[in-house]
C-alpha cells in the first residue's frame, strides 16, 4: 500500500505577507502551512515536512531491499539495534500509509 500524497519534490516558501509562516508546496499545490511561535523551530520544521516524501521513498526502498536480500540469501542482522530500527521503520511507514493511527495521549501501536 502506498500513500496517495502529493508527489515529490516538495518546496518550502517563506511567506513575506505573514511573518513566521512557511508554506509547503508540491508544484503549485499548497500542501500545508507551518506556523509556530518558536521562531527557532519554524525553518527546521518546514525542512522536515518538505523532506517527508523523499524520506518515505528512501525508507520504503531500504526496507524492501533488506527484505529482498533476506529472502534471497537468508542473510540479515537480527541484533536488538537493527530489530528495533526495523520495527520503528515499519511503524513510521504504517503512519505514512494510513494503516496506523495515533490516539491522543498515546504513543500508538503497529
Q: What is the pLDDT of residues 40-93, one digit of tens each?
A: 888 888 888 888 888 888 888 888 887 777 777 777 777 787 778 888 888 887
Q: pLDDT band at 25, cuts 50/70/90?
A: very high
Length of the chain: 110
Task: Classify residue 37: in a domain, yes or no.
Answer: yes
Task: Classify residue 5: in a domain, yes or no.
Answer: no
Task: Classify residue 45: in a domain, yes or no.
Answer: yes
Phi, psi of 93 (to 5 degrees): -65, -35
pLDDT at residue 7 above 80? yes
Q: Which domain holds residue 33?
A: 10-96
Question: How many folded domains does the chain comprise?
Answer: 1
Task: Classify residue 27: in a domain, yes or no.
Answer: yes
Q: Are the C-beta atoms of 7 and 18 separated by less than 8 Å?
A: no
Task: Classify residue 63: in a domain, yes or no.
Answer: yes
Specify the pLDDT at position 2.
Answer: 59
Task: Classify residue 78: in a domain, yes or no.
Answer: yes
pTM of model > 0.85: no
Amino acid at each position: 500500500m502506498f500513500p496517495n500524497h502529493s508527489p515529490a519534490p516538495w518546496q518550502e516558501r517563506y511567506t513575506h505577507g505573514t511573518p513566521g509562516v512557511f508554506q509547503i508546496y508540491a508544484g503549485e499545490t499548497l500542501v500545508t502551512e507551518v506556523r509556530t511561535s518558536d521562531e527557532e523551530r519554524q525553518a527546521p520544521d518546514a525542512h522536515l515536512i518538505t523532506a517527508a516524501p523523499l524520506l518515505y521513498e528512501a525508507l520504503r526502498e531500504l526496507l524492501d531491499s533488506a527484505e529482498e536480500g533476506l529472502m534471497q540469501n537468508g542473510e540479515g542482522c537480527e541484533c536488538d539495534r537493527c530489530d528495533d530500527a526495523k520495527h520503528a521503520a515499519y511503524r513510521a511507514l504504517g503512519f505514512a500509509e494510513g494503516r496506523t493511527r495515533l490516539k491522543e495521549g498515546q504513543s500508538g501501536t503497529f
